[in-house]
Amino acid sequence: MDYRIEHDSMGEVKVPADKYWGAQTERSHENFLIGVGIETMPREITHAFGVLKKAAAIANHSLKPEKMTDEKLAAISQACDEVMSGSLNEHFPLVVWQTGSGTQSNMNANEVIANRGNEIAGKKLLHPNDDINMSQSSNDTFPTAISIAAVLGLEDKVIPEIDALVDTFKGLERKYRNVVKSGRTHLQDATPIKFSQEISGWRSSLEKDKKLIKIALPELKELALGGTAVGTGLNAPKGFDTAVAQAVSEITGKKFVTAPNKFHALTSKDEIVFAHGALKALAADMMKIANDVRWLASGPRLGLGEIKIPENEPGSSIMPGKVNPTQCEAVTMVAAQVMGNDATIGFAASQGNFELNVFMPVIIYNFTQSVRLLSESMRSFRVNCAVGIEANKEKMHDNLHNSLMLVTALNPYIGYENAAKTVKKAFKEDISLKEACVALGFLTAERFDEVFHPEQMV
């Protein structure tokens, strides 16, 4: 492999000749051999750094044109556009398990953009610290990258998948609005419910989760950029914070603002904890929905068997013909992972000692993983399972009319205690509710038929 010599304040370092990163990135690359190739800093953060470095250059150009010239801005902007496109991903090799401030990832961005910008300009025009990092510190850029990555992930990935699954459930509600089945509480038989009503519970849960996520978004849109090292804004020109927030808004098409208190923005991660709490709520609801679906589809002969779901792949290497609810299982595993991520994020956010939180890489690593897993699992569940849910109307009818909890309809006519006696006799002797009620003398057969209508109990 060919190398070139780069240098930083600590001296010279050999760097692969075909890579845009510089000395500080290389030091981190060599010093943190933890999760290499597996737990690389999320690409969402790489993209966010492209956004914020371009925004910073734009703000600096308007406030310090003698330092951020037109020529520099043009080279930086083009390099940042390439970072945002993902075409320079191979030049961002650093792992999550590095300095807790994300300093090395900030310098990775500075070095790549500077070297690529110099290549674009055809000369040594840009310096990683003096130009790309102008008016900034790692301590305010990494929190800003977290905010950008989190907002884009929630608005562009999670919410659209919630909407798509909600639409699917609405279609199933319309399709099965006249199908009545037995309800269940405590995993025991309960009074009747329409299948559409059961589905509406799933749909409404997702709609509520979307509302909770949207409540979290305004707080995430407050950017730390402009606070520099400790929140005082040292070495940043007046108005830089508002100018850079405006530039970030224009680049992303989403409304970001500057954080009103930079000391809070650098050290506290309460906004990301709150937002991930909404993701945990979504995960909890997806766990419930997936479990409901696989229980209702259990069987095909010895389970509930009230719905049929698509058969996507063989389910056993030894039992021929077996098919399993694999999409549901994937969703439940994702939900478990997201709940674990929430514990990590909560603990990491509590470590904001003095003027800086130094657990930021692991916070955004877990957050972006939750975003990806939830959005992708919802899409997979919708496409490969939910759209193909079919009610087994015959099984639903049989289960409904075999349910002892239909006796609840008799309460107004024979009273709670007599209804309980009817249930116990029917269960013990394996006879129908009608037979038990008539045998006990509580109602005549004719009167029973007059008042007993399960389909009207919904």
| Torsion sign, CA atoms 189, 192, 195, 199 | negative
What number of CA atoms fall less than 13 Å from residue 7's CA on the CB side?
A: 3
Q: Is 316 a catalytic residue?
A: yes
- For residue 210, which of 255, 165, 241 has the smallest C-alpha distance? 165
Cβ(310)–Cβ(384) below 8 Å:
yes
Rounded CA separation 228/217 (Å): 23
Give 124's DSSP letter: S
Q: Is 403 a catalytic residue?
A: no
4 in helix, strand or coil? strand
Residues 6+ apart with CB under 8 A from 398: none
What number of CA atoms fall less than 13 Å from residue 196's CA on the CB side?
A: 11
Rounded CA separation 43/364 (Å): 11
Q: Which residues pair with 185 in a beta bridge?
A: 188
User: Among the options 87, 316, 401, 453, which is catalytic?
Assistant: 316
DSSP assignment of 288-335, as one string?
HHHHHHHHHT--SSSS---EE----S---SSSTT----HHHHHHHHHH
Give 156's DSSP letter: I
Residues 6+ apart with CB under 8 A from 25: 15, 93, 94, 104, 107, 108, 111, 112
Rounded CA separation 113/76 (Å): 6
H-type alpha helices, 385-415: 393-402, 411-414
User: Measured at the alpha carbon of residue 238, what is the angle toward residues 237 and 243, in degrees to the nearest 5?
Assistant: 90
Write down the number of H helices and E strands in the chain: 17, 10
User: Among the options 186, 268, 380, 397, which is catalytic?
Assistant: 186
Cβ(26)–Cβ(14) below 8 Å:
yes
Compute CA distances 164 → 111, 156, 159, 277, 375, whole Å: 40, 13, 9, 22, 11
Which sequence positions are flagged as catalytic? Answer: 186, 316
